[in-house]
Amino acid sequence: MDNMKRRIFLGLLSVSIAGCTATGAPSNEDSPNHQIMDTQFTLVDPKERSNPDESDVDNRFQHTANVQFNTTKNQIIVKGRLKSGSRSCMETVLESASYNEKSDTLTVVVSDNRDESATICTEEISMVAYESTITFDSSLPGTVVVKHQSEDQEIVFTDSFTQ
């Protein structure tokens, strides 16, 4: 195997091994100066994002998000829970992270997409906890908008956070 084919193979292998962790900078069409330097997205244990003392069962199964502005590292950290259908055939991903310079707003979209390779889908409803870190090259945006998108591209949750 020549070096080029080996690099392609190893690159594809590392993507498939990474599983639920994604890094890199999604396309940033709203920002001509590309202020987003890096993004990371990881699915985490749902128990870390739920309150076991929560007495209201309805609140346990609601979309949530929380944003931290880390000015020391120029990072926005989004922690949330997305209400999802069958985990046997759904995949939760960072759909986009885009910065709009005019409004000084970062918009983060987390999406629940159908895994087309799945052959059997179960019918359970679950909460998918995630954490995403968006690193900027300099100062942080004044506003962060977090959106959750269903498999049919419908926005099912939106929340806004300011520094």
Query: Residue 163 corresponds to which amino acid?
Result: Q
For residues 2 and 21, what is the distance between their CA atoms, to the nearest angstrom? 29
- The β-bridge partners of 158 are 147
Give the count of alpha carbons within 13 A of 113, CB side only.
Answer: 11
Pair of tokens at residue 33: 């100066």
φ/ψ of 37, rounded to 5, equals: -95, -35
Question: What does the pLDDT look like over 22-74, one tens digit per residue?
Answer: 445 444 444 444 589 999 999 998 665 455 555 555 667 789 999 999 999 99
| Residue 10 confidence (pLDDT) | 40
| Residue 47 confidence (pLDDT) | 61
Domain edges within the chain = 36-49+62-162
Question: What does the pLDDT look like over 92-150, one tens digit per residue?
Answer: 999 999 999 999 999 999 998 888 787 788 877 788 999 999 999 989 999 999 999 98
- The β-bridge partners of 88 are none
CA 13 to chain CA centroid, Å, is 22
For residues 149 and 108, what is the distance between their CA atoms, to the nearest angstrom? 10
> Are 44 and 131 a contacting pair, CB within 8 Å?
yes
pTM of the model: 0.74
pLDDT at 156 over 70: yes
Pair of tokens at residue 36: 């987003």
Higher-pLDDT residue of 144 and 151 is: 144
For residues 9 and 96, what is the distance between their CA atoms, to the nearest angstrom? 26
